[in-house]
């Protein structure tokens, strides 16, 4: 048995609704590996349970798996605003939100977060960033001023399949992730840790 399988057998079991969503994601969507899945979804839910944010931002909804994991742990009156740039995704994802017990906590916005967020007056206590890897620094610059003090900025894929520390990789996505990692590590406004879970998850806490 692989260590990943062992871990999955020794964490709280996946909610049946999320299990069905993950299965539908794999059967019906291209690039289903983009969905967070049970291990990372469980960590996100745990972080929301601990931090109890009133308002969460997600960049990159895709099938809504991570959205629903986080929505499940929101405190009373809490909400999550999730942005998805691909309008073709709405037909799949919106019914999964509407059919869940958390529909009234989820605001699903179709459009580019970099265009829309500047037109709104939101503040957030937590942000989960999982969009275009080349835009991570842009997301950071946009979101950090809108994050409350003590708020958590979470960025996915920050080890990029182990490419970040391999000088043989020069592609734009790898370089953009490296630039983001350098930037947050040197930003005195925050404290930062990278968890080597899945494809690397960076937790950035605004001081």
Ligand X SMILES: C[S@@+](CC[C@H](N)C(=O)[O-])C[C@H]1O[C@@H](n2cnc3c(N)ncnc32)[C@H](O)[C@@H]1O
- Give the binding site for ligand X (CB under 6 A): 34-36, 59-60, 62-63, 65-66, 83-86, 89, 112-114, 130-132, 135
How many Å is the Cα radius of gyration of the chain?
16
Shortest distance, position 90 Cβ to ligand X, whole Å: 11
First vs last Cα of the chain: how many Å apart? 41
Q: Whose Cβ is closer to ligand X: residue 38's or residue 206's? A: 38
What is the nearest approach in angstroms of ligand X to the Cβ of residue 116? 8
Q: Give 49 or 86: the residue with its C-beta nearer to ligand X.
A: 86
Minimum CB separation of residue 188 from ligand X in Å reads 27
Q: Between 59 and 176, whose beta carbon lies closer to ligand X?
A: 59
Q: In what order do the strands lie in the sheet with 190-195?
A: 106-110, 79-84, 55-59, 124-129, 147-156, 201-206, 190-195
Q: How far is the CB of 72 from ligand X (least distance, A)?
A: 14
Q: What's the length of the chain?
A: 207
Nearest residue to the partner ligand X, using Cβ: 60
198 backbone dihedrals φ, ψ, rounded to 5°: 50, -115
Cβ proximity to ligand X, 179 vs 188, nearer residue: 179
Give the residue with the Cβ less far from ligand X, 135 or 173. 135
How many Cα neighbours within 13 Å face the side chain of 149? 1
Min. distance of Cβ 26 from ligand X in angstroms?
12
β-pair partners for 205: 152, 191
φ/ψ bin of 54: left (φ > 0), alpha (ψ from -120 to 50), beta (otherwise): alpha
């Amino acid at each position: 048995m692989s260590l990943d399988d062992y871990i999955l057998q020794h964490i709280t079991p996946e909610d049946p609704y999320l299990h069905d969503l993950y299965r539908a994601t794999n059967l019906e969507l291209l690039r289903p590996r983009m969905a967070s899945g049970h291990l990372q979804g469980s960590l996100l839910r745990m972080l929301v349970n601990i931090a109890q944010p009133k308002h969460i931002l997600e960049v990159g909804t895709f099938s809504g798996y991570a959205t629903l994991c986080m929505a499940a742990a929101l405190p009373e009156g809490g909400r999550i605003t999730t942005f998805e740039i691909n309008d073709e995704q709405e037909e799949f994802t919106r019914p999964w939100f509407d059919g869940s017990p958390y529909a009234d906590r989820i605001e699903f916005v179709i459009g580019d977060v970099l265009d829309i967020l500047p037109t709104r007056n939101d503040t957030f206590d937590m942000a989960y960033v999982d969009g275009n890897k080349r835009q991570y620094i842009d997301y950071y610059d946009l979101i950090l001023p809108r994050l409350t003090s003590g708020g958590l900025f979470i960025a996915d894929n920050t080890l990029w399949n182990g490419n970040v520390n391999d000088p043989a990789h020069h592609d734009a996505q790898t370089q953009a992730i490296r630039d983001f990692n350098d930037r947050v590590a040197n930003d005195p406004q925050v404290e930062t840790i990278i968890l080597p879970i899945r494809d690397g998850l960076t937790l950035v806490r605004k001081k």
